[in-house]
Structure 1
Amino acid sequence: MIIEEMTMPEFEAGLVRTKTVLIPFGATEEHGPHLPLATDTLHATEVGRRLAERRAIFIAPPVPYGVCRSTSGHPGTLSISTATLRLLALDIVSALYAQGLRNFILLTGHAGGTHTSTLIDAGEELLGRFADAKIAVLTEYMLAAREGKAIIETAGDSHAGEIETSRILHSHPHLVRGSAAREFPSFPVGILVRNKRKFWPGGVWGDPTLATADKGRRLEELVVDALERLVENLEGWVE
């Protein structure tokens, strides 16, 4: 049940079927010279829609902005502050709770550490705010990397590499502009730098040349399978 496509009566009827909602968090962020800036948002939204084809679950409108620290200096990246992201998560879940939802999955297609930690922090506050709420926070990339380890050929593949390029080749092939060279960032250990692009010029973390649409299809299926298991676990969760 895709919330932004539903009418008021349809939403009300949906609450009889389920109290579970998935909120896709993404980013508007560079993904090399070959992938769209919406890559992270597309990942989270697509698997949410696929999951909704399998079971009764609400899919909230995606949040297309995130905390993008390492790519903040690359063209096209529109980063927000941790304070903004935290308040967005708190307000969105609170609004959904007021509408009758009780099980919340904050699924982020953007896997930045600061971004993810902010969502976890918001989730912890929400647990204290709503005694009967169940909350899960996880990255879509984590599921893809873990569930698809037998498919992925590139060790340490991450941003705009084999995994993400394969995923977009499958789900949105018309948005892929060729490929890009294998690259890994060279940030100094422990030192915060102003000119981040100097240490990561191409914005790729992995090997896009090994990406295929078939790998993307298989990875997406594995991610949706893992999400379905998570929903079942969350809905039955008792502390």
Structure 2
Amino acid sequence: MPLIENVTMSAFAEGRKTCRTVILPCGAVEEHGTHLPLGTDALHAVALAGEVARVAGVWVAPPIYYGLCRSGSRHPGTIGIRGSTLQCLVEDILRGFHQQGLLNVLVLSGHAGWTHMAALADACERVLFEFDDLRIAVLSVLDIGAAVWTDLIETPGDSHAGEVETSLMLHLHPECVTGRAPEEYPTFPRHILVRNKQAFWPGGVWGNPAAGNAEKGKLFMERSVKALVEIIEKLENWSEPPESDPA
């Protein structure tokens, strides 16, 4: 199916007769070291959703570029939104999908911060209980990676602007990669919230960018597409037992 923003009203009406599944790519405008673009998370999610749509024949909705950013919130270029703002936006979009007959929704986030993902899951959960015929899956690109990338990664603990994301951007948007930032593994204080987050994470990297290359990025994408197609097939055929009254 084509991107939703590129089709006419008539084409959408015709297309939804055979396809009721849509991917909602989500990202963040967030620092990714000194070598990757601020839109890395959204660029990744959009590219992955597009490839999955090409293989599986599903809709892709216009992306949500802004997300909930905590750890990099004080770094230059990070523009985050509140969790409540993100939730309201996602809830309204999901209700819009349902109104338009799109009943299988995959919320795919290129930004994997735990507060961001919790906000997405909470919003989706609320809408899920509004409609009995709606199916929703929520996952981040790192959720996929944990299942299908591990044998490719050389850097233990790589998670942000390091080996994986550098590889992906070298494959997807090499023109946006500027050299390599230094390897970095920040340590934040346990339990204590800090204002000056950049003092604990000066370079904005969590991993080793030097270990990244375009060939790995290509493999990351190929494996991710395959895994997501399988998740979509499971979602489209998902049914759960009815709720029963407690004894």
TM-score, normalising length from structure 1?
Answer: 0.99
Moved over 3 A (4+): none
SS of 1:23's equivalent in the other structure is strand
Partner of 1:150: 151
Deviations 1:106-142 (A, max 9, x none): 1100000000000000111011111110000000122
Alignment of 1:180-199 (within 5 A): 180-199=181-200
SS of 1:22's equivalent in the other structure is strand
Partner of 1:107: 108
Give unpaired runs (5+ residues) of structure 2: 241-247
Deviations 1:6-63 (A, max 9, x none): 1111111110121100000100000000000000001110011001111220100000
SS of 2:76's equivalent in the other structure is coil
* 1:17–1:56 contact (8 Å) kept in structure 2: no
Alignment of 1:171-182 (within 5 A): 171-182=172-183
In structure 2, C-alpha distance between the alignment counterparts of 1:142 and 1:182, rounded to whole Å: 23
1:67 matched to 2:68: yes
Give the length in aligned residue pairs. Answer: 239
Q: Judge which range, 179-188 or 211-220, deviates more.
A: 179-188
Once the two structures are TM-superposed, the CA of residue 185 in structure 1 deviates from its matched residue by: 1.2
In structure 1, C-alpha distance between the alignment counterparts of 2:140 and 2:44, rounded to whole Å: 10
Give unpaired runs (5+ residues) of structure 1: none
TM-score, normalising length from structure 2?
Answer: 0.95
Q: Amino acid of the residue matched to residue 89 of structure 2?
A: L
Once the two structures are TM-superposed, the CA of residue 188 in structure 1 deviates from its matched residue by: 0.7
Root-mean-square deviation over aligned CA pairs: 0.7
Alignment of 1:1-239 (within 5 A): 1-239=2-240
SS of 2:108's equivalent in the other structure is strand
In structure 2, C-alpha distance between the alignment counterparts of 1:169 and 1:37, rounded to whole Å: 15
Once the two structures are TM-superposed, the CA of residue 180 in structure 1 deviates from its matched residue by: 1.1
Once the two structures are TM-superposed, the CA of residue 145 in structure 1 deviates from its matched residue by: 3.6
Once the two structures are TM-superposed, the CA of residue 173 in structure 1 deviates from its matched residue by: 0.5
**Greater C-alpha Rg:** 2
Instruction: Determine what percentage of the aligned residue pairs are the same residue.
Output: 49
